[in-house]
């Protein structure tokens, strides 16, 4: 059975993604996949189990669709969502995956956080672990997200990446253009920095960019 939209009178708290890799409320695997969310104070998990499928868990099934919508902002390639009793919660049209050489991915970031890199290293082992959102810009395959995974994979000698083409704001193209100016033309040139330096350097760049718009 499919879940129905939550009752109109039921209050829907905000959905917030948990961006840490250490939180006892969630499975480690889910944290690594960025599938941990809070709806109000209650934990919800979206655990990826294949290239297209995930299991969703949480206190109130009426909130599942809102959690799924937030999750798919970062992972459009996951199109089938199931509950723990194997009931289909929601499904979307299939997303075409393409296989691209690592060297042909143009980053839209410059830096990699060393702490995040250590966490990601635990679950990136083969090209099957890499599915990256992309936009095509002036012949470049620009990575919208997943730069730490790309950096770790490049260090491990993984030569190809799976990706899917999506839509993104103009800022992604502007960031990619700035990366090219800095001679960051593939994941191999991303710069690993300490966590505190990452927050200063990357956040300062983003703040300056968006404040000028």
Domain 98-211: CATH class, spelled out: alpha beta
Cα–Cα distance, 28 to 31 (Å, whole number): 5
The structural domains of the chain, with segments of one domain joined by +, span: 15-91, 98-211
Cα–Cα distance, 167 to 135 (Å, whole number): 6
The beta strands (E) that lie in the chain are given as 15-17, 36-39, 42-48, 53-58, 80-82, 88-91, 98-101, 105-106, 111-113, 131-137, 140-143, 160-165, 191-193
In the chain, which stretches have pLDDT less than 70?
A: 1-12
Burial (Cβ within 10 Å: 0-12, 13-18, ≥19) of residue 94: exposed
Which pLDDT does position 193 carry in this prediction?
A: 97
Which pLDDT does position 42 carry in this prediction?
A: 96
In the Cβ-directed half-sphere of 173, how many Cα atoms lie within 13 Å? 11
Which pLDDT does position 7 carry in this prediction?
A: 38
Which pLDDT does position 1 carry in this prediction?
A: 36
Which pLDDT does position 178 carry in this prediction?
A: 98
Cα–Cα distance, 159 to 110 (Å, whole number): 20
Burial (Cβ within 10 Å: 0-12, 13-18, ≥19) of residue 166: middle
Instruction: Decide: 152 and 117 in contact? Cβ < 8 Å.
Output: yes
Instruction: Decide: 158 and 126 in contact? Cβ < 8 Å.
Output: yes
Which pLDDT does position 9 carry in this prediction?
A: 40
Instruction: Report pTM.
Output: 0.83
Which pLDDT does position 11 carry in this prediction?
A: 54
Instruction: Decide: 101 and 159 in contact? Cβ < 8 Å.
Output: yes
Instruction: Decide: 136 and 163 in contact? Cβ < 8 Å.
Output: no
Which pLDDT does position 201 carry in this prediction?
A: 96
Q: How many CB atoms lie within 10 A of CB 56?
A: 24
Closest alpha carbon to 56 in 69, 45, 65, 66: 45
């Amino acid at each position: 059975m499919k879940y129905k939209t939550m009752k109109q009178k039921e209050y829907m708290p905000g959905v917030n993604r948990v961006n840490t890799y250490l939180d006892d409320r969630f499975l480690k695997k889910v944290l690594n996949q960025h599938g941990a969310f809070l709806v109000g104070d209650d934990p919800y998990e979206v655990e990826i189990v294949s290239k297209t499928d995930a299991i969703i868990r949480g206190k109130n099934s009426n909130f599942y669709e809102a959690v799924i919508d937030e999750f798919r902002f970062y992972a459009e390639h996951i199109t089938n969502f199931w509950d723990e009793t194997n009931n289909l919660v929601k499904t979307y049209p299939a997303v075409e995956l393409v296989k691209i050489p690592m060297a042909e991915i143009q980053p839209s970031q410059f830096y990699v956080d060393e702490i995040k890199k250590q966490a990601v290293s635990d679950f990136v082992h083969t090209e099957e672990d890499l599915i990256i959102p992309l936009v095509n810009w002036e012949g470049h395959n620009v990575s919208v997200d997943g730069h730490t995974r790309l950096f770790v994979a490049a260090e491990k000698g993984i030569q190809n990446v799976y990706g899917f083409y999506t839509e993104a704001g103009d800022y992604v193209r502007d960031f990619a253009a700035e990366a090219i100016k800095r001679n960051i033309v593939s994941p191999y040139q991303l710069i690993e920095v300490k966590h505190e330096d990452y927050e200063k350097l990357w956040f300062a760049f983003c703040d300056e960019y968006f404040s000028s718009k």
